[in-house]
Structure 1
């Protein structure tokens, strides 16, 4: 600001040529102008300092973000790579080096991502790559393929790819699934063998039980003494119990074999009703048009509940199914007007033991429902009937988009 002070000093001598009043007026104006210039310069200096401070903060923030993203990229737990529009790999992390067997220097800006893909998958992956940059729809962000390592070994890989917004670059993560795939195949083969052995054993045991039942029936016709007839009756009961238990192992074996699916509630109940003989008992379905995400054996649950009511409900006349809402949960209700369940046995009936020989079916039902987080409890009143409530958690039920349509199998 020295130049403004010098200007002020240069103008002051001229004041002596003016009248006193003019001189004082001009002098005041000169001083005000000089002061204003000094204030403006001070403000400019303050703005410059603030700008420098903001620039330093932005620089530090940018450096911190770059360091943070570099850390995430390097330590994501998966093989990471950045792919250019022409398929060239411009950056990889250390895990990708482990998966591929190549060093960064051998890959970055030197190798196309398609060279890692087995020939049978290259066209498919290349089409994804091109369509993603053309804004196509229906392009999978996640897919499976097989990678060729530097040593020639082929590995199974899960890949997830997304474009960087506003660019033609994409970032991909690669997970080596080879060992998991092998374990899955081994487990599947072992399960198949165990299932075959179980089926053969069960078939043979049931055949022998059929023979045993036949001999017991013949024995009953050959004796008349009450004591021996009672023995034969008890032996027949044991044989029937063993038969039921062997049949139960087949049902239990099938739980969880297939992935859960969305199933129309009303359809599932109706199919179960069609497979049972209710006699004079009236069965009604007052369920809303909703779908339940559950194991494929859901229908068996409804069958077991009806069978249990018909066998042990006493003089019941009706069984009713309905669907209720409780907050975000859904509740499937099966109730009857039979004998009901004693308060002390409400939990025992679901255990793997007998409450009047009903335990296995209800135990199986609870296991089927539990696969997708559905709980079942008995809340009825003794003497007024049984009431089974199956609570379906949020996300496990939904309204049907097309009422009356067939169950979806997504």
Structure 2
């Protein structure tokens, strides 16, 4: 026996609601699929139109409004939103995928949305809450350990002043070095604690590069950015990865005067290139520079950068020529990149 199911049957059976927003008032719904009654979502209407914002949980309204407003202001072709919405007497987590189009004057022309109802947003919210509690506990424990290490280092320094035996002085110095390394490792854990804790969104690539540069002293090195109006789907941890890469230039790129940051298409995705005109990196070290502890500094920077980038499925390589400068190439997959001139 063959069972045939029409696309319309599948649509009404799926946990998804389709609706069209009003162009003149983006928070009003012009039309909506009939299966919203099945889930009790967006069933109340006034003057023939349903107001979606009033149905969204009050703690989510500000974030949703700002993200939608930002998408319209930047003329984005679409946006993904995650929020809680009224479903009868309760609220349910949903994900909205809104497709946006504009007329020649830049005004919204059509806004079509799919409201996906699944357990994934709930699981994400629970994971986020659990991670938040765990990180708070880790922060407190780390703070207490650092306080104890500070006391140990203080006593070791006093002991060095009191001891005259060369052997004991040598032992004390080694103990102090070990304690300082433990302290550095603990401080390092602060930097990756919030990886995966921030919400993903479409962000301007040039803006986030500029934000990263604001955290670094690059003078007198000049930086040139050529990424157009390209967008990337990431969270703010991507900025931290860029900071770690860029911070290496004034510290290790001897003789560097300029840095060029550019984006070019590459296969289905794009290649973000960070290139300086400094001393470059010898061939034997090109793969080791991403190892934990390698290098003259703390040895954390490029290691952390590579690990953060891997979350976004971005790979990084150093393909510069020794004596001509370093060239870091970040291969960004197409599903998180929108290249715009």
How does the TM-score come out when normalised to structure 2? Answer: 0.62
Q: Equivalent of 2:156, from 200, 205, 216?
A: 216
Q: 1:205 aligns with which of 138, 141, 145?
A: 145
1:160/1:361 CA distance change after superposition, 3 Å: closer
1:126 Cα deviation (Å)? 6.4
Aligned position for 1:99:
none
Question: In the alignment, what sits opposite 1:286?
Answer: 224
Alignment of 1:259-278 (within 5 A): 259-277=199-217
Aligned match for 2:40, one of 117, 125, 129: 117
- Contact 1:372–1:396 (CA<8 Å) still a contact in 2? no
Decide whether the 8 Å contact of 2:16 with 2:116 is kept in 1. Answer: no
State the alpha-carbon separation in 1 of the partners of residues 214 and 33 from structure 2. Answer: 61
Q: Do residues 331 (structure 1) and 272 (structure 2) align? A: yes
- What is the match of residue 322 of structure 1? 261
Q: Deviations over 1:331-372 (max 9, x none)?
A: 23143513x434343223224454556543212212322333
Whether the 8 Å CA contact 1:282–1:317 is kept in 2: the answer is no
Richer in helix (by share): 1
Distance 2:281 2:94 in 1: 51
Larger relative contact order, structure 1 or 2 (CA cutoff 8 Å, min sep 6):
2
The question of whether the paired residues in 2 share the 8 Å contact of 1:272 and 1:300 is answered with yes
- 2:92 aligns with 156
RMSD: 4.7
Q: Deviations over 1:283-337 (max 9, x none)?
A: 2211124445233123322332243344455x44445242142446242314351
Task: Identify which of 126, 141, 159 aligns with 1:186.
Answer: 126
CA separation of 1:378/1:123 partners in 2, compared to 1, >3 Å: closer, same or farther? same
**Unpaired runs of at least 5, structure 2:** 19-29, 52-71, 73-78, 98-112
Q: What's the offset of the Cα at 1:199?
A: 1.0
TM-score (norm: length of structure 1): 0.53
| Structure whose CA Rg is larger | 1
Compared CA separation, residues 307 and 226, structure 1 to 2 (3 A): farther
Equivalent residues of 1:335, 1:385 under 8 A apart: yes
Q: How many residues align?
A: 283
Write the distance in 2 (CA, Å) between the matches of 1:160 and 1:274. Answer: 34
